[in-house]
Amino acid sequence: MPNIVSEAGLQTRAGQWWDSIPFLTSAVVIVCGVIYLICILVGYDSFYEVCFLPEAIVSHFQVYRIYTSIIFHGSLLHVLFNMLALVPLGSELERIMGSIRLLYTIILLATSNAIFHLIIALVVAHNPFHPFEHLMNECAIGFSGILFSMIVIETSLSGVQSRSVFGLFNVPAKWYAFILLVVFQLLMTNVSLLGHLCGILSGFAYTFGLFNFLIPGPSFYTAIESSSWLASCVRRPKFILCSGGNPSAYIPTYTAQNSPSSALFSGNIWRNLSSWMPQRGTTAQPAQDDPRFPGRGRTLGSVQNTAVNSDSNLQARLLDNSRPTSPSDIAAAGAGERLSNERQLQVSDAVAVGAGGYPLPQVASEEQIQKLLSMGFERTQVEVAIAAADGDINVAVEILMSQQG
C-alpha cells in the first residue's frame, strides 16, 4: 500500500510553535495578554493612570509609569501586533543572551527609553523659541518602544547589510528601524512617534556601548540563576541559561573591547565599569542546534552528542607543523572528522562577528600569524580570523577552513 503522509493538525502545530518560544519571551507574551484580557473582563480602560505621561512623572514623580506603560495595551490589534513582533525578536535575542540577561536588558531599555522620552519632551516643551507642550501631556502605552530597541540590537547582531521592509523593498540595515518608524507613523496616526524614536535611540546607545558600565558580568546572572527562588524556572526546558555558549563571542558594539566582566553587586559595585558587553561563558552543556542562535547551554530542541576527542584530534592535526600545511592537505587530513556542535557554533559565531563590520581588536601574536601563514592562507584573512576568534588559534583555523570551503 502507498505511504500515507498526514499533515499535523492546527492544534499540534500551534503547540510546537509555542514550545519553540524561549521562557522569558513566552512569559512576556503571557503577561501582556493576560493583563489585556483582565482589562476587558473588568471593563478597565483608564489607561491614563498607567501610561507613560511625562507631565505626571515630572510633577508627581510617578516612576511606576515607566514600567506599567510597556505591559498595558490599548486594543486587541495593539497587543496582538506587538506580541507577534516580539516572538521572533525576543526568541533570537534570548537564545543569544539567555533568559535572565534578556530580562535585565528589557528593564534597562525601558528605563533608558523613558529617560530619552523625558529629556526630549522637556526640551521641546520649554525651548525659548517655540514651546510645544503637547509632548508633556502625551500618553504613551504599549511594548512597541522596547520592540524598536530590539530591532536595532538584532540588526546589529546579525551583521546584515540590508533589510527587507515587509518583503516589498530592501533598505540599508542601519536605516531599517528609521524606515519602520516612518512607515508605522504614516499607516497609524495614533502611534507615539516619540516613544518609538526613543526606542531606536536606546537600541543604538546599547549597540554603541554607551550602557556598558551598567551591564553586569556573567557572575551576576549566574548568581541569580543559582538562587533557590528561581530554581523552578531554571528547571523548565524553555529556560536558557546565561552561562555557556562561546566564551570568545560578544554582543558587538562599536567600542568593542574584550576586557573581563565582573559582577554588578559582588565586592565593589563599581567594578563592572571595566566590563563591556556581556560575554557568553563556557559550560559543559551542549549548544543550540541552530547555528544562528548560540544558546546558553540549555537547548530548546534536540541535541546530538558528538565526540570531543575527534575535535581535539582535528585541532592537533591542523596545528602540527610536521603535517601538511597547505589548506587542501589540511582539509584532506581532517576528512571524516566532525566538529562538535559547540565548536561549530563558536566558528559560525566568530565568522558572523568578523563579517559584521564591527571593529575587531588585534589579539594575535606575530608567531600565531606566521604559523597560519605557513598553512597557505593570506595575511589579511589570518588577521581577521584570529581577531574574530579572540586570539584562539584553534577557532581561527576553523574559521579559515570554513571560508576556504
Taking residue 229's Cβ as centre, other Cβ atoms within 10 Å add up to 7
Q: Are 371 and 394 in contact (CB under 8 A)?
A: no
Please tell me whether residue 245 adopts helix, strand or coil conformation.
coil
Dihedral, CA atoms, 228, 229, 231, 234, nearest 10 degrees? -130
Quote the CA–CA distance of 211 and 171 in Å, as a whole number. Answer: 27
CA-based radius of gyration for the chain? 24
Quote the CA–CA distance of 402 and 349 in Å, as a whole number. Answer: 12
Quote the CA–CA distance of 50 and 183 in Å, as a whole number. Answer: 27
Q: Are 22 and 94 in contact (CB under 8 A)?
A: yes
> CA distances (Å), 50 to each of 62, 121, 149, in order?
9, 18, 21
Quote the CA–CA distance of 212 and 277 in Å, as a whole number. Answer: 6
- Is 266 an annotated catalytic residue? no
Quote the CA–CA distance of 395 and 322 in Å, as a whole number. Answer: 20
Q: Are 334 and 317 in contact (CB under 8 A)?
A: yes
Closest C-alpha to 401, from 329, 304, 340, 293: 329
Given the residues 196, 248, 261, 275, the one annotated as active site = 196
- Is 134 an annotated catalytic residue? no
Quote the CA–CA distance of 11 and 21 in Å, as a whole number. Answer: 16
The per-residue DSSP string of 248-264 comes to: T-B---TT---PPP--S
Closest C-alpha to 98, from 25, 199, 20: 25
Quote the CA–CA distance of 147 and 172 in Å, as a whole number. Answer: 19
Given the residues 26, 69, 144, 248, the one annotated as active site = 144
Cell 525659548 sits on residue: 128
Report residue 164 as a C-alpha cell.
Answer: 527587507
Quote the CA–CA distance of 31 and 147 in Å, as a whole number. Answer: 16
Q: Which residues are catalytic, by number?
A: 144, 196
